[in-house]
Amino acid sequence: MSIKETYKKLPFDLSGARTKNRFDFEILYGIELLIDNYHILNDFTIVFDYVCDIELHCNDDESLKFYQVKTNNTGKPNNVNFLTNKDKRTKDSIIGKIYKISNNDSSSNISVLLVSNAPFINNKFVTKPNEAILLNDIEDTTKEKIINHLKKEINQQNINLTNIYYLYRNVGVDDYENALVGKLNKFYEQEKNCYMNKPTVLFNSIKATALSKAKYEEECEFDKLYSKKGISKQDLEKMIEYHYEKNSETYENCYKQIIENTKNNSLFQLGCTKSLKNIINAKDQKVINIIDEVCAKINEDMESGNEISLDEYAKTFNDTHKDINFPVYLSKCDIYTIVIYSFEKLKEELKG
């Protein structure tokens, strides 16, 4: 059965009360799924907050994966009561809501994962980080409590837990974004075979898109679902390509300048190349601020009319511009590279 035919039989649940932490965690988890599945699936779309918090629509095999996201800020593991306690607003338990999605007339191509930043504990074990456990395989006493609860809540005697999972994603909400920026940076380097300039800019662009999809709160016909609520693999490709086109030229020009100007000093060249990587990856806020100062000083120097090579200008910059307070930990390689980078940055801005 196609995704469209399966999906039409599922109940949707737009927005609802959520803490900011949980909403942020949902968005970030959806972005992580985009990155993680990029090289696994040929054609897929991540849907934000419609039938479930996050959805993975796999067009390769017409399957659907639903992710119900829950954050736990107590520092304690979740137990069976976490699954069976009913929500005051919806009157559904977490496991009840999941079960309605996972078991219906078209459930053969559906799996549902409850994702939490806390482990699940029962009589015999605690879930391991980043490992999805099948609820049908958990310890019998805990499993029986879940089944008995569902019999009452769903009013159904035959309960099937064979496509419901619990996933412990062991990352703090506050740390999650930084971890994903790092993952995106590594992914970008593999895709483009170059360092990523301004990684947070690309990440924030993806996050802003995901937020807009999640916040769209109108009912959708399936034909409009992906455009209103989803980010596809192709969408991610376009965002990466746009970022590459806008931000890679400065890096390439800087790199060429460094290699050409330092070809007779291999150690200095290596140090400058390392400095350029750090600048492109925007790891040091003090350096970012200094670049703005250097750009302003270069603009002033343009008016002087002095003829000097860029190599000489960069090498003597620290001596001729004592009014700029470079951090004491910066080496000659760092300052030289900052000047080269600032010069190329200004050229790009002038080009438009």
Domain boundaries of the chain, sorted by first residue: 3-240, 262-351
| 227 contacts 218 by C-beta, under 8 angstroms | no
Distance CA 37, CA 263 (A): 41
What is the residue type of 237? Answer: E
Q: Quick check: pTM over 0.85? A: no
**What is the per-residue pLDDT for 237?**
94
In the chain, which stretches have pLDDT less than 70?
Answer: 1, 11, 13-19, 104-107, 281-283, 352
* Cα separation, 93 vs 81, whole angstroms: 10
What pLDDT, in 10s, does the model give residues 70-108?
988 777 899 999 999 988 777 889 999 999 898 866 567
Euclidean distance between CA atoms 263 and 294, whole angstroms: 25
β strands within the chain, DSSP E: 44-48, 54-58, 63-70, 110-116, 132-134, 164-168, 230-232
CA distance 232 to 213: 12
Do 340 and 262 meet the contact criterion of CB atoms below 8 Å apart?
Answer: no
Alpha carbons within 13 A on the beta-carbon side of 82 = 18
pLDDT for the residue 144: 94
- 140, with CB counted inside 10 A (0-12, 13-18, 19+), is exposed
